Chain A
Amino acid sequence: MQPPVALSALRRAVMALEPGIASAAGRPFETGRPDLDAWLGGGLARGVLHEVHAGHARHPAAATGFGLGVALRAAGGRPLVWVRQDPVEARVGGLYGDGLAAFGLDPSRLVVVRARDPTGALRAVDEAARCSGLGAALVEMGGAPGILDLKASRRLTLSARASGVTLVMIRLDASACPSAATTRWSVAAVTSSPVEAKAPGRPAFAATLLRHRAGRPSRTWHLEWDRDSLRFSSPVAEPAAAAPLPRAVVSVPVGGAGPAEAGRRRAG
């Protein structure tokens, strides 16, 4: 038996065990920007945990906006749950219904849960992750609470996988710590493409893929949120648009049995 065959068979076996890569949770959802979706192998996985880190502690709202965009893409037309905590609320302010509507989320689709502390927030989001009627659940975490360990995130992933609810965890100021998240992003604010009279434009982000469970290499995209079509798009004038992709990208079929094993590595 050839060692590479054995290796790829082993990889496939591990893939099938990994939550978030196997197709149990259904088709992935597209972010809306073709080159990003191609890079991710068709989009982001549904029914798993995605982590969004704030690139700048001073601009936490960029991570929130990106996370909300991901959740909206994942949810389709279904309801959302947003779990908040009192300390976070004091720091970044309360959610604003008019602002959610201006971002493209009908506020009547949203259930807001206000937990006292990280423990309560985790339990609430775990409860939400088991409700198959939901489209997505968001949770914000400030700092690095001890309760949020590998076990907790694995638990969330398992709950989400069974129900198909996509979880988005927004880490406001945490350094990366081990977690079972399928993707981890670092999102910083960037200046938008101004509209007429130098007015600030659409929400713009520099989103860096820090970790991907299927081993996609790290890369940064400049994205804008297009509220009218509810998708991420390329900015009108993007500095990184001219740069070619670092290498040819082969899209991986869901389930992991693709010819792309050579380009795959474990990251994180």
Chain B
Amino acid sequence: MAQVGGALRLAAVGREAMALGLRPGQTLADARARIPHLVVEDHDPAADAALLHRMAGACDRWTPLVALDPPDGLILDVTGCAHLVGGEAELRAQSLRRFRHAGFSVCATIAGTPDAARALARFGRAGTVPPGGEAEAVRALPVAALGLEQDTRAALALAGLKRLGDLAGLPSRPLAARFGEEPGRRLRRVQGLEDRRITPLRPRPACWADEVFADPVAHRPAIAAALQRLAGRVADRLEAEGRGGRAFEASFFRSDGAVRRIGIRTGRPQRDPDTILRLLRERLDALADPLDPGFGFDRVRLAVAAAEPLEPRQPRLDGEADHEDAVSDLVDRLVARLGAARVLRFVAADTHDPLRSSRLVPAAEPGASSAPWPVPEPSEPPARPLHLFDPPQAVEALAEVPDGPPLRFRWQGVLHTIVHAEGPERIAPEWWRDPDAPTRDYYRVEDAQGGRFWLYRAGLYDRETGPPRWYLHGLFA
């Protein structure tokens, strides 16, 4: 039940209600008048869309090219896929069986173009249209099957054109002059004379390999062995094409229709089956919710989601390139285990603000070029600490006014007496970011035990408001 305009109308009806004569679009009052004990629920379009997405995922087993036809349709491009399950008729029967088994009311049509199949499935007799038979098959369909705008449809109806067969007999030029280009184009598509690409839900993988089990498999070693064979097949194909994968995806199709997908990315193109397997295994081991085979997987797929040219390389005599590759592979494994946000590298920014001058970015992502790192003065002690607190930690400090170094300070309840100090190093805030931030005077200090600290005073005496506060910003080695 959904609110349409001012009235509550039925958005969808169940099989029993359909048998009792209810139809979607009826007002709730009418329906109640006919069936007083009608059970209604609020319409939840988001849940419907999510369900359609899940169904599209389940259709992935037949072809990687699945498009949504909202609100309740799916379009599959099965070109070149049907023979894998034993022909188009068998493919259609198998998909219908699967969804009916799961409790859906479905109908399916296989035709030469997506529009023809859609029109026949929604408005005509379902089935498999032989190649070239689309024009004949759609003759009896109503004009609504073209999916035109409401006013064009009304105009066609006024002209007495009710069936696609009526339209098909007309010369196209007067038709276009009177009703616009759209009906003609739609008609050609529905008749199978003009094809169009569907926009698949998921991008088409560069290549993939499937392993189908006659009986569902839940045994882990069997799944691992299947992955190993798949990795070998994918690697062979990539090698033949002179390419390497940058992103891989393993899909596990459960016999009850659920699909679980595991993705990995690599820092450089890869086609070594052992490397791919190892990354997949890392990823599987690190899953927060482990792979649940339920009653078993009946199909496992390994797809290469992104591929790049990869020429066979001669190993360099000095072994330098191998080191780089080894580290890049290590980063891939760590990313597969811990996630990209936890494997990082430093990037320098061209700023004097200590909190922004060095950043950690994901190591697996290219780009983010680094500014040059500050070159330390020869024979000077380090001017910046190894560890930096973010945010800086407030401390109590005793210092000479106006800008003497602190004599002692208390941090985490411990009093540090300072014996050596250097400063101030005045770092003005970046006024274009935060105009009210106080100036900072930094001091490098050393206490009697040898602890070396980076302290600063926020604010200048008399010139900036309030009593200055002291902060510990970092620890020197």
Contact = CB atoms under 8 A, between A and B. Distances in A.
Contact of A200 (B333, B379, B445): B445
A56 B327 contact: no
A97 interface: yes
Contacts of A198: 419-421
A133 B330 contact: yes
A228 B452 contact: no
Interface in A227-262: 227-228
B370 interface: yes
A24 interface: no
Nearest to B418: A200
Nearest to B331: A111
Contacts of A197: 422
B34 interface: no
Interface in A87-126: 92-104, 106-108, 110-116, 120, 123-124
Interface in A188-206: 188-192, 194-195, 197-204, 206
Given A201-B381, A203-B452, A192 B420 contact: yes
A206 B449 CA distance: 11
Contact of B358 (A64, A96, A114): A96
B295 interface: no
A108 B347 CA distance: 7
Interface string A78-94: 11010000000000111
Which of A68, A93, A120, A201 neighbours the largest number of chain B CB atoms within 10 Å of its CB? A93
A92 to B, nearest CB: 5
A110 B343 CA distance: 11
Interface residues of B, number: 61
Contacts of A68: 386, 477
Interface residues of A, number: 64
A127 interface: yes
Contacts of A65: 386, 476-477
A115 B330 contact: no
Contacts of B414: 58
Given A93-B388, A124-B334, A202 B381 contact: yes
Given A68-B386, A93-B387, A192-B420, A127 B333 contact: yes
B18 to A, nearest CB: 53
Contacts of B326: 131-134
Contacts of B386: 61, 64-65, 68, 95-96, 99-100, 103
A120 B422 CA distance: 40
B446 A200 contact: yes
B440 interface: no
B337 A123 contact: yes
B188 interface: no
B451 A58 contact: yes
A188 B376 CA distance: 25
Interface in A157-196: 188-192, 194-195
B322 A133 contact: yes
Contacts of A93: 387-390, 474-475
B344 interface: yes
Nearest to B324: A133
Interface in A204-228: 204, 206, 225, 227-228
B321 to A, nearest CB: 10
A48 interface: no
Q: Lowest 5 A-B CB distances belong to which pairs?
A: A65-B477, A97-B358, A133-B326, A199-B422, A189-B450
23 contacts: A58-B414, A59-B451, A61-B387, A61-B452, A62-B451, A93-B387, A95-B387, A96-B386, A96-B474, A97-B373, A98-B357, A99-B384, A99-B388, A99-B474, A102-B382, A107-B373, A111-B331, A115-B338, A115-B342, A132-B326, A133-B325, A191-B448, A227-B382
Interface of B: 322-327, 329-331, 333-334, 337-338, 342-348, 354, 357-360, 363, 370, 373-376, 378-390, 414, 419-422, 444-446, 448-452, 474-477
